[in-house]
Amino acid sequence: MLRIEIEPEAKTRIRRQLLAWYDLSQRNLPWRRSRDPYAIWVSEIMLQQTRVAVVVDRYQAFMTRFPTLVSLALATEQEVLALWSGLGYYRRARMLHKAAQFVAANREGNLPTTADELRLLPGIGNYTAAAIASIAHGEPIPVVDGNVERVLCRLQGWEAVGRSGAAALRHKVDSVATQILDPKRPGDFNQALMELGATVCGPRNPQCLVCPLSPDCITRGEHKTQARPRMLSKEISYALAVRTGKLPGFTNREVLLEQRPDSNTVMPGMWQLPVLREAAVPESELRMTVRHAIMQVNYYVRIRTVFEDDIPVLTTTEGRRCWVPLINAAGMALTGLTRKVLSRAHLLPVAPLEILTLQAAQDPS
Ligand code: SF4
């Protein structure tokens, strides 16, 4: 491994400055109030590729419904996906659930305490293992996510590189992260570096004037970040079909939902509105338009109200379909887009997160 030597005085200064800043400036986030390895694990998985603002409410709902690893292990996959609905990247939820079941079945519900052992569990990679071990158990091991990599590259004056040079750069970043890690407070130090990257040393417009690492930073804002890959655009249209059901009151209405087949690579098992055969929707039939981003694709979505009799003609069938009482829909494993459309159409009876914590998801079949 390439090794970049950091001066002892610089190491001491970086640790002192960064931790002092973190102690004063850290955001008040629910997972920071816990040293429970399970809680840290859930938060770290949720935070991968998802913004903190989106995660906070979902995390609290998830932990209310599944307060322990064993309670998560005992849930059905549909229940777990329902609580994950809207966070995207649903594979994370499936892996978390499977790993919880593995730990419950093979380790009496106790997560290992070291990063080396944690890495052996299904669904826990280097990053998550290091985060749990350092934050929950004080293991002196660095955690390097995208934010930390950016901060350390700027600190050292290294420019972001293309894929070909990524491995070499990563080795150098890991070396620096290992050297500057505070051995007395490794969990706080790791979180401080991630926090700095998220709040002060962001991808654009780093706030170098208030940065605790400014005295040791070579670039101080002059660092070039790689351009983001261009987003693709796609158009898609869905049918919103609602009929009168057999139950009384608000629940006396049902919405037609379709479960994405297990063979789908994206969001298998999740529930969505039926897809219209034609992406174009006549203006007079248009119920709403929604913009929805998934990974590198911007979806421009049209929603058309469809009567029950017209469903076979206007929609294509991809998976099994069910008429679901609206009272049950909010607790199901809906895709984020479907939840968004039903909410905007005022078809979810209460705030989605509220109902998710109150009821277990129900399989409508
Ligand atoms: S001084 Fe500026 S560029 Fe350097 S780490 Fe701080 S915010 Fe980032």
**pLDDT at residue 284, rounded to an integer:** 78
Q: What is the pLDDT of residues 285-344, one digit of tens each?
A: 888 998 888 777 888 999 999 989 999 999 998 889 999 988 888 889 999 899 999 988
Residue among 210, 220, 224, 225 to mutate when testing ligand 1 (max atoms within 8 A of CB): 220
Percent of the chain at pLDDT above 90?
Answer: 60
| Token representation of residue 345 | 């159409």
List the structure tokens of 103: 């730990």
Strands (DSSP E) found in 194-231: none
Task: Tell me which residue of 282, 275, 165, 269 sits closest to 226, measured CA to CA.
Answer: 165
Give the up-direction half-sphere exposure of residue 119: CA atoms within 13 A in the CB hemisphere. 8
**Which of 238, 253, 247 lies closest to 334, judged by CA?**
238
> In DSSP terms, which residues pair with 322 in a beta bridge?
257
| SS3 of residue 9 by DSSP | helix
Interval between CA 232 and ligand 1 midpoint (Å): 31
Segments of the chain assigned E as strands: 232-240, 242-244, 253-259, 271-272, 275-276, 286-294, 297-305, 315-316, 321-325
CB 135 within 8 A of CB 191: yes
Residue entry with tokens 């091991």: 141
Amino acid at 77: E
Q: Which of 89-103, 131-145, 229-243, 341-355 has the lowest mean pLDDT?
A: 341-355
User: pLDDT at position 365, please?
Assistant: 34
CA–CA distance, 344 with 347 (Å, rounded to integer): 8
Q: How far is the CA of 151 from the centre of ligand 1 (A)?
A: 7
Q: How much is the average pLDDT of 56-77?
A: 95
CA distance 42 to 199: 22
pLDDT for res 63: 96
- Average pLDDT value for the chain: 88
- Mutate which of 214, 222, 223, 225 for ligand 1? The one with the most ligand atoms within 8 Å of its CB, which is 214
Interhelix angle 146-156/166-180, rounded to 10 degrees, is: 80
Ligand 1 in reach of 219 Cβ (< 6 A): yes
Pairwise pLDDT comparison (159 vs 153), residue with the higher score:
153
Q: Which atom of ligand 1 is nearest to the CA of 213?
A: 6
Per-domain residue ranges for the chain? 8-216, 232-358
Answer whether 156 contacts ligand 1 (Cβ < 6 A).
no
Q: Kindly state the tokens that stand for 329.
A: 């829909």
Alpha-carbon distance values, 153 to 147, 164, 209 (Å): 10, 17, 18
Radius of gyration of the chain (CA): 24
CATH number of 8-216: 1.10.340.30
259: buried, middle or exposed (CB in 10 Å: 19+, 13-18, 0-12)?
buried
Q: Is 305 strand, coil or helix?
A: strand
12-41 pLDDT, tens digit each: 999 999 999 999 999 999 999 889 999 999
Between the alpha carbon of residue 208 and those of residues 17, 21, 261, 348, the distances in Å are: 14, 13, 49, 45
Structural contact between residues 305 and 240, judged by C-beta atoms closer than 8 angstroms:
yes
Query: Which element (helix H / strand E) includes 20?
Result: helix 8-25
Ligand 1 atom with the smallest distance to the CA of 150 is 8
Q: Ligand 1 centre and the CA of 238: distance in Å?
A: 46
Ligand 1 contact via 327 beta carbon (within 6 Å) = no
Instruction: Reply yes or no on whether 44 is catalytic.
Output: yes
Res 2 pLDDT > 60: no
pLDDT, residue 262, reads: 87
Quick one: pLDDT at residue 323?
93
Residue 187 has pLDDT above 90, yes or no: yes
pLDDT of residue 1: 46
240 neighbors 218 (Cβ within 8 angstroms): no
Fold of 232-358: Nucleoside Triphosphate Pyrophosphohydrolase (3.90.79)
**7, 44, 139, 235: the active-site residue:** 44
Cα of 51 to ligand 1 centre, how many Å? 21
Closest residue by CA, ligand 1 atom 4: 220
pLDDT at 347: 87
Q: E strands, 68-176, where?
A: none
If you measure from the C-alpha of residue 160 to the centroid of ligand 1, how many angstroms do you get, rounded to a whole number?
Answer: 15
CB of 185 within 6 A of ligand 1: the answer is no
Q: Is 203 in the pocket of ligand 1 (CB under 6 A)?
A: no
pLDDT of residue 263: 87
191 and 33 in contact (C-beta within 8 Å)? no
Q: Is the pLDDT of residue 363 over 50?
A: no
Q: How far apart are the two ends of the chain, measured CA to CA in Å?
A: 55
Structure tokens at 176: 């620096």
pLDDT band at 232 (very low <50, low <70, confident <90, very high): confident
